[in-house]
A = this chain, B = another copy of it.
Amino acid sequence: MLVGVFDSGIGGLTVLRELATALPEHDLVYLGDTARVPYGTRSPETVIRYSLRVSSYLADLGVGALVVACNTASTHALPALRLAGDRAGIQVFGVVEPGVEAALEVHHTGAIAVLGTEGTIRGRAYQDAIRLHAPDVPVEAIPCPLFVPLAEEGWVEGLVPEQVAEHYLGHLRGRVDTAILGCTHYPALAPILHRVLPGVDLVDSARATAKAVRTAFGPPSAPTGTVRFLVTDHPERFQRVGRIFFGHDPVPVEWVDLGPAKGPFAMGR
């Protein structure tokens, strides 16, 4: 089966990496909307519109399943994407539910912290999912807007990233025992986060999502899958910065023009 992985840009490569390991027998096509990244500061309406357009393009390629790697898109657009996916016969996975389930597994007695973009935190999808499954667990939801540009610069060690993390998260020390990395970029900052929040379990939604998709697909067969990369802006920066998140060069990359959303995906505004 062809599995589409949709991200606002580059960070979703952390999810793709986990999926490539978890789904070795499937062909993966990654679409990074690099001409419109970041989604994290945009309104829910715009994120939904962009998400339907990207997903429509992937549907035209014939994907049988769609993984929404971007946390902000998962937060705002999952209901619209699921509705369209149902009509198109495409199973749609987000990163929020798997991340929350993984957090509740490791959580002990303290609060759970949710770290994300401005849009993800304001959208409250993580907070609502935790309350649904564990209404008594206190939640600390913290937007960390500088983490994405720091990670994309590869500036993930040293005084500045540590002080930025301290500024956002220092007040959580001793009060939280689990922190959900609710943005694809944040695993790059894990070493710093461990220093600022010692003893706190960091839950990587990327890994949890890959596990959830694997479970839904059943046991793996022989590894014959391929990986292909599509982007909506020039591939140069994607390749250069992508290494940070994918571990090695994301190649080959094709530049695509999305066109308007079609069929079931044209339903939204």
What residues of chain A have their CB less than 8 Å away from a CB belonging to chain B? Answer: 34-37, 41-43, 45-46, 118, 145-146, 148-150, 152-153, 155, 159-160, 163-164, 167, 233-234, 236-237
Q: Enumerate chain B residues within 8 angstroms of A37, measured Cβ to Cβ.
A: 41
Q: A163–B159 Cα gap in the complex (Å)? A: 8
Could you tell me if A233 and B42 are in contact, using CB atoms closer than 8 angstroms? yes
- Give, as a whole number of angstroms, the nearest-CB distance from A73 to chain B: 15
With A35-B36, A167-B160 known as contacts, the answer to whether A233 contacts B46 (CB < 8 A) is: yes
Q: A35-B42, A35-B46, A118-B237 are in contact. List 15 more A-B contacts (CB 8 A).
A: A35-B36, A36-B36, A37-B41, A41-B237, A42-B233, A43-B234, A43-B236, A46-B234, A145-B152, A145-B153, A146-B146, A146-B149, A146-B150, A146-B153, A160-B167
Could you tell me if A160 and B164 are in contact, using CB atoms closer than 8 angstroms? yes
Q: Which residue of B lies closest to A42 (CB)?
A: B233
Shortest Cβ-Cβ A-B pairs, 5 listed = A43-B234, A46-B233, A149-B149, A160-B163, A35-B46
Q: A201–B183 Cα gap in the complex (Å)? A: 39
- Give, as a whole number of angstroms, the nearest-CB distance from A8 to chain B: 12
Q: Which residue of B lies closest to A37 (CB)?
A: B41
Q: Enumerate chain B residues within 8 angstroms of A146, measured Cβ to Cβ.
A: 146, 149-150, 153, 155
Q: Enumerate chain B residues within 8 angstroms of A167, measured Cβ to Cβ.
A: 160
Q: Enumerate chain B residues within 8 angstroms of A45, measured Cβ to Cβ.
A: 234
Q: Which residue of B lies closest to A148 (CB)?
A: B149
- Give, as a whole number of angstroms, the nearest-CB distance from A41 to chain B: 6
- Give, as a whole number of angstroms, the nearest-CB distance from A29 to chain B: 21
Q: Which residue of B lies closest to A119 (CB)?
A: B237
List 10 interface pairs A-B (beta carbons < 8 Å), by A numbering: A34-B42, A42-B233, A43-B233, A43-B234, A43-B236, A43-B237, A46-B233, A146-B155, A148-B149, A160-B160
Q: Which residue of B lies closest to A160 (CB)?
A: B163
Q: A167–B164 Cα gap in the complex (Å)? A: 14
Q: Which residue of B lies closest to A236 (CB)?
A: B43
Q: A34–B36 Cα gap in the complex (Å)? A: 10
